[in-house]
Amino acid sequence: MDKERKNQLLKIRDYAEEQFDKLLIYLSSGGLILTIGFVENIIKINESTCLSLLIMTWISFTGSLIVMLFSHRSSLRSMDLELKGKEEKSDFWDRITKCLNWVGLILLISGVLSFIIYVLINL
């Protein structure tokens, strides 16, 4: 693969990763706002069962947001270390960033699934 093609693919990959981070944050915050603000319109909370699923939904969405904030910071740390020529430490922080991104995604998915299950149980 020629150098120009590789650089172009790296730019596309960086853009896709940036969009992934934004999407996770948008979906988690939107899910949190919608479930807190409109759950009463779907299910009457005082009559609902499995309230723990609703709480788990909120914890998952909030957890995803917090994890993504840490992911952003670890990504910046990785880049700063790379710029200073400390590749080994940069690689370590890059692995942490990737792990945090996966955790954020898993928390988002668990929040969505727990809310769906909560609604289905209480309909």
105-114 pLDDT, tens digit per residue, is 999 999 999 9
CA distance 2 to 80: 27
- Every domain of the chain and the residues it spans: 3-122
**H or E element that contains 117:** helix 87-122
Averaged over 21-44, what is the pLDDT? 90
Report pLDDT digits (tens) over 43-64.
Answer: 777 777 888 999 999 999 999 9
Q: In the numeric block, which tokens belong to residue 26? A: 């948008």
CA distance 78 to 95: 9
* Mean of per-residue pLDDT scores for the chain: 90
Picking from 5-14, 77-86, 102-111, which range would have the lowest pLDDT averaged per residue?
Answer: 5-14
